[in-house]
Structure 1
Amino acid sequence: MRDSIGGIPASRLLFLSLLGNLFLIAFMAVQFLEIGRPPAPPMPPPPPAMMVERLATSVSDEGRAIIMAIYEQRQQVLDTLFGEMGHAQLQTQQVFAGENFDEAGYKAAILHRKEVADRFFSEMADMFLEIGQQLSPEDRREALKRGRF
């Protein structure tokens, strides 16, 4: 056996090969363990106040004043719809986990949850439309860096 390959000592190459193999074994073990795990449930949207605050911190002072004024006009409706959306999700989960599966009840709960979510996201879209109409082009570009519209 040669003492070196390309000027690198054989013992060092053997050690690096061993490390590479250990890395591959660890990677394969993690992949194997992940196969049986169910996918994570989708994350609910953040509360409206958090979304608006994130947006407001990315724009000028004038833009922030516009955003907060528009949000304050819609805050009560948005907070109510957001709470209804969470309640509808909880109802859907409770129907699904019931002692006897109620197919009609589950379908009704899903439709109700979808209706509430549609109203919430429609209200958010209307608010962002109003905000977009009043922000400067520079503020709109900065806002895009912090959110999805």
Structure 2
Amino acid sequence: MGIHFYITRPSLCSLSESGGHICNAHFAPISIVSVTVYTFGFSVGFGPLSWVLVSELLPLSVRGKATGLCMVVTFVSSTVVVGTYLELAHELVNPWLVLWTYALVSLAGSVFVQVFIPETKGKSLEVVERKFSKDSSP
């Protein structure tokens, strides 16, 4: 979507007689594909990740309260992003810059997950909990 907004920014498009930008309709498929790819990627990636992490990595003794706290942080973060997008994109900077910033933050999050979040596939909750209790021992 950032590419779409960059390509169709007013400085690259000519004005039509009605005052609109001629190139906007030409690149519309980019925005449709972008939203579809984002929705799919979020649904199989960052969307369920927080739910999986809290259920696998938190000890049973604090899992209930800690899960609630983690979900509050997740929803507040999402609300901040959605609530600030219009002001950022249309009043402070260009929409393409905001979207590329969001993309870079997502990339940084992906790198963080790959580097710091342990793989728990095929391990029971007891094995995962023992691993973290050993790692946290002095």
Shared topology, TM-score over 0.5? no
- TM-score in terms of structure 2 length: 0.32
- TM-score in terms of structure 1 length: 0.30
